[in-house]
């Protein structure tokens, strides 16, 4: 039978603690931990400096590539801020977006979508409507009256 003194118990606890925090005491592990914390800090900070999101087709929900993101302030000319990639994603520095501006999402074959800058920055998903018939169920021949929807025959 071995008797443990208080000193040996303390040493065994110290040994466990040393093994548990051994990662911090090794220089290569310490550097790795520092890099991970630094990169993690950057990624959190970037979210506050960047407006990012996706633009999709309203009818098919598929991503729309090459959508121009434009900004205009006080009726000035539209300035191009960026374009969506092949996945319909955009990534724009907030510092390039003029304060109190209008944002327009524009692509040939789609109706332009206008919004204010805060709506654009705070929303990560935008739907744009194609100009084709599939997305326009209420065309010129559709009327809404007291009796509900009515359809008129198109004029030749």
Whole-number average pLDDT of the chain: 76
Residues 10-58: tens digit of each pLDDT: 565 565 555 555 555 556 666 665 656 555 554 444 557 888 999 999 9
pTM (two decimals)? 0.56
Count of residues in the chain: 156
β 142-145/125-128 pair status: unpaired
pLDDT confidence of residue 17: 57
Instruction: Indicate if the pLDDT at residue 136 is higher than 50.
Output: no
Instruction: Tell me the C-alpha distance between 105 and 67, whole Å.
Output: 6
- HSE-up (13 A, CA, CB side) for residue 108: 0
pLDDT > 70 fraction of the chain, expressed in percent and rounded: 54
Q: Which residue has the tokens 């994603």?
A: 89
Stretch 81-85: mean pLDDT: 94
C-alpha 21/C-alpha 119 separation (Å) is 47
pLDDT of residue 142: 45
- Residue 75 has a pLDDT of 86
Strands (E) across the chain are located at 50-57, 68-72, 79-83, 89-93, 102-106, 113-116, 125-128, 142-145, 148-151
Which residue has better confidence, 7 or 122?
A: 122
Flag whether pLDDT at 60 surpasses 80: yes
Q: What is the CATH number of domain 49-132?
A: 2.60.40.1120
Tens-digit pLDDT profile for residues 90-110: 999 999 999 999 999 999 999
119, pLDDT greater than 70: yes
Domain parsing of the chain, residue ranges: 10-46, 49-132
Q: How confident is the model at residue 120 (pLDDT cuts 50, 70, 90)?
A: very high
Burial of residue 50 (CB within 10 Å: 0-12, 13-18, 19+) is: middle
């Amino acid at each position: 039978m071995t008797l443990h003194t208080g000193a040996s118990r303390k040493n065994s606890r110290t040994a466990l603690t040393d093994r548990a925090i051994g990662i911090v005491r090794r220089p290569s592990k310490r550097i790795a931990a520092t890099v991970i914390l630094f990169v993690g800090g950057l990624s959190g900070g970037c979210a506050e400096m960047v407006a990012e999101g996706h633009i999709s087709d309203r009818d098919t929900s598929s991503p729309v590539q090459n959508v121009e993101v434009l900004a205009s302030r006080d009726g000035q000319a539209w300035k191009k801020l960026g374009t969506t990639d092949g996945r319909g994603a955009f990534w724009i520095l907030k510092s390039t977006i003029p304060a109190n501006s209008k944002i327009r999402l524009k692509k040939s074959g789609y109706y332009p979508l206008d919004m204010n800058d805060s709506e654009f920055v705070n929303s990560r998903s935008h739907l744009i409507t194609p100009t084709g018939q599939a997305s326009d169920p209420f065309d010129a021949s559709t009327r809404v009256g007291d009796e509900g929807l009515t359809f008129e025959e198109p004029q030749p």
